[in-house]
Each structure stands twice: as C-alpha cells, then as structure tokens.
Amino acid sequence: MSRSPRRIIIDTDPGQDDAIAILVAVASREVEVDAITTVAGNVPQPLVTDNALSLLALAGRQDIRVYRGCERPLLRPLYTAEYVHGPSGVDGADLPDPTVGVHSTHAVDLIVDTCLASDDGMVTLCPLGPLTNIAMAIAKEPAIVPKIAEILWMGGAFDEPGNTTEVAEFNAYVDPHAAHVVFTSGVPLTIFPLDVTHKALMFPRHVEALADHATPVADAAAGMIRFYEKYDIDKYEIEGAPMHDPCVIAYCIDPTLFSGTPHHVLVDTTHEETIGNTYIDDSAGEANATVITDVDAERFFDLVVQRIGSL
Ligand code: BDR
Ligand code: CA
C-alpha cells in the first residue's frame, strides 16, 4: 500500500542547488509541495522569487504558489553569494520567464496561516536557505510550533570547516540569529550540514547521466550544475559539486538514504570571527536536533537523476 504524500513547504533562496531540490520535489509523488516561500540569501529579493517562479514554469508546475519572504536577515545586513551562483543566482541555464505572478500574501503569513489551519504535527518545513522566514513565523505566532511535524534544514557545519568563513556555513552565517530562534524553539529539527552535503558530490558521470535525458528540464539542470560546480571544484580541489539542498528533499522522499544522531546544537551569534558557527554541546541541554552526517551517495544520485529526468 502506498503512503500518502508528505506535504511540505519549501523555503528557499534559489540558487542552483535550491533549483535542483525544487525540481526533484515537484517530480516526486512521495511529496506534495504546498507552497514555495522565498528568502533573501544566495541573491537578493526579488531575484530569488523570480527564480522560483521561473523554475516552476520550466517544470510546468505553475499550480504551486510562490510567496515572497524576507528581504534581509533579522539583525545583520544581507550577505549574498553571487561569487558562487552568478549574478542571477541560477547562472548556467536560460530559464523561461515566469508565467504567473507571486502571491500577494507574505511568506511569513503563509507559513503561520498554513500551520494554524493544520492539525498538530502535520506541517513539514524544508528551509534551504537562511532561517529568517521560519524564525519570523515562530516569533510572530509561537502557536505554530506544535503544528510542525519537523523542520528539515540545510545548514551548519560541525566537524567539517565552514564554506563562508573558516567555521561558518553560508545559511548559518547569513542569519545566525534566526538559526538561534529555530534551535531554541522546541520544534523537531533535522539538520543537513556540510558534514553530509560534502559527501553528496555530483561527479561528471552523474551530470552526464542527467544530460542524457535531453529534455528541456534536464538540459537546464545540467547547465546550472556545470556553472555551480566550478566554485567548489576550485576551492576544495574536488571533482564535483556538493548537492547541498537536494539532500533535504531526498530525505523527505527516502529517509533511509541518510543517517545521523540527536544532539544539543547551538549557533554562535556574538563573536564576529566565529559568528554563524554551529556546534554541539550535549552538556548544555537535551538534544534539540538530529544532525545528519552520512548519505548513500550513489542511491541519492540515482534518485536525483531519475526524478529530474522524468520531468
Ligand atoms: C548553502 O548555501 C547556499 O549557497 C546553497 O544554496 C546552500 O543552501 C550551502 O552552504
Ligand atoms: Ca539554498
């Protein structure tokens, strides 16, 4: 008997790896994307919102609504990553123009309203960028916390060095205060840090397998990955690009691909040299997050390639 699909809200700052995550999600019957909410991160608003709309046009899924979210982090100025993703955020593909507009409701309100209208433990939030919208929603309406089944967040770095500073991963670095709000909210939280996403490297043979599908979606996805992989290949002297954000969606589809352990996780919000550093201190309190550290990379890439190839 097949399970009913897991209903998710994807909170995102596309970003080529966000784009791959969105495409995998809309191609997969195991998940139902209730909404896409956008947050400034890899590039500013309104680019991230336009990118989300264009990706849905590419996939022929204009039925999924896009909600524009926060323009900047809670306390710090916005720090963006055009040096990784290019000026558009999704360089490497010529995406179609959006065919529908953004919804007039703000992303934070959409998250609050969706949660309040749900039974307890029914909403899964998949943040793939800085946690600004999620923290704002929790601050605006703490009654949403029991409604949330799980927050699945790509962010942080534990034993692995940071990718933005020596100790901080990008999404944690951009809005560490929002990460603090989420970590201390009591919400069930699973974190996909660089420790696991740096094991999810998309090698040339995977990109070729994707391009072999020769559909407009597969061509665009392969083009984006070929652009985006250049930064990590140069920086880390590796042969492929880490598929950070698709790990979250793959976990929704098949959690057996991943493994991790519960810990008490904190984030540095005070010291400028180490701000955004996520760390474990199990002596400081009960476990507040499951930290994912391993992935079955071959099965993960089979899934990514097959799902995008099906669009
Ligand atoms: C994260 O930062 C962004 O550049 C990617 O989209 C991903 O969400 C990786 O550190
Ligand atoms: Ca992202």
- CA 26 from centre of chain: 14
Distance separating alpha carbons of residues 158 and 160, to the nearest angstrom? 5
In a domain, 133, yes or no: yes
Q: 244 in ligand 1 pocket by Cβ < 6 Å?
A: yes
Q: Is residue 168 part of a domain?
A: yes
* Residue identifier of the C-alpha nearest atom 2 of ligand 1: 170
Cβ of 263 closer than 6 Å to ligand 1, yes or no, is no
Q: In angstroms, what is the span from residue 128 Cα to ligand 2's centroid?
A: 4
Q: What is the pLDDT of residue 239?
A: 82
| Rounded mean pLDDT, 113-135 | 97
**β-pairing, 6-12 with 31-38?**
parallel
Mean pLDDT over residues 72-100, rounded? 96
Pocket mutation for ligand 1, best pick of 43, 245, 247, 277 (most atoms within 8 Å of C-beta): 245
Whichever domain contains 69, its CATH number is 3.90.245.10
Q: Is residue 1 part of a domain?
A: no
The verdict on residue 119 lying in a domain is: yes
Model pLDDT, residue 233:
80
Nearest to 17 by CA among 67, 65, 89, 96: 89
Residues 251-289 have pLDDT tens digits of 999 999 999 999 999 999 999 999 999 999 999 999 999
Contact (Cβ atoms closer than 8 angstroms) between residue 179 and residue 131: yes
Residues marked active site are found at: 244
pLDDT at 81 over 90: yes
Q: Which residue CA neighbors atom 10 of ligand 1 most closely? A: 170
Burial bucket for residue 6 (CB in 10 Å: 0-12, 13-18, 19+): middle
Regarding the beta carbon of 89 and ligand 1, being less than 6 Å apart is answered no
How many helices (H) does the chain have, and how many strands (E)? 12, 12
**How far apart are alpha carbons 285 and 231 in whole angstroms?**
38
144-154 mean pLDDT: 98
For residues 133 and 105, the answer to whether their CB atoms sit within 8 Å is no
- Mean pLDDT (the chain) is 96
Number of domains in the chain: 1
Residue-range definition of the domain harbouring residue 92: 6-309
Q: In this predicted model, what pLDDT tens digit does every residue of 1-37 receive, in sequence order?
A: 567 899 999 999 999 999 999 999 999 999 999 999 9
For residue 2, what pLDDT is reported?
Answer: 61
Q: Which atom of ligand 1 is nearest to the CA of 242?
A: 9
Check whether 44 has a pLDDT greater than 80: yes
Instruction: Report DSSP state, residue 88.
Output: T
**Burial class of 272 by CB neighbour count within 10 A (0 to 12, 13 to 18, 19+):** exposed
The candidate with the shortest Cα–Cα distance to 308, out of 230, 246, 229, is 246
Per-residue confidence band for 120, with pLDDT thresholds at 50, 70 and 90: very high
Compute the distance from residue 119 Cα to the ligand 1 centre, in Å.
Answer: 31
Other Cβ atoms within 10 Å of 294 Cβ, number: 12
Residue 51: pLDDT over 90? yes
CA 298, CA 301: separation in Å to the nearest integer? Answer: 5
User: Does residue 129's CB lie within 6 angstroms of at least one atom of ligand 1?
Assistant: yes
pLDDT for 66 beyond 80:
yes
- Report pLDDT digits (tens) over 231-246: 888 787 778 889 999 9
The DSSP string of 23-45 is: HHHHT-TTEEEEEEEE-SSSS-T
pLDDT given for residue 176 in this prediction: 98
Q: What is the pLDDT of residues 160-208, one digit of tens each?
A: 999 999 999 999 999 999 999 999 999 999 999 999 999 999 999 999 9
How many CA atoms, within 13 angstroms, populate the side-chain half-sphere of residue 83? 9
Cα torsion 108, 42, 250, 136 to 10°: value is: -20
Residue 291 — φ and ψ, nearest 5°? -100, 115
What distance in angstroms lies between residue 282's CA and the mean position of ligand 1's atoms?
26
Q: What is the pLDDT of residue 260?
A: 98
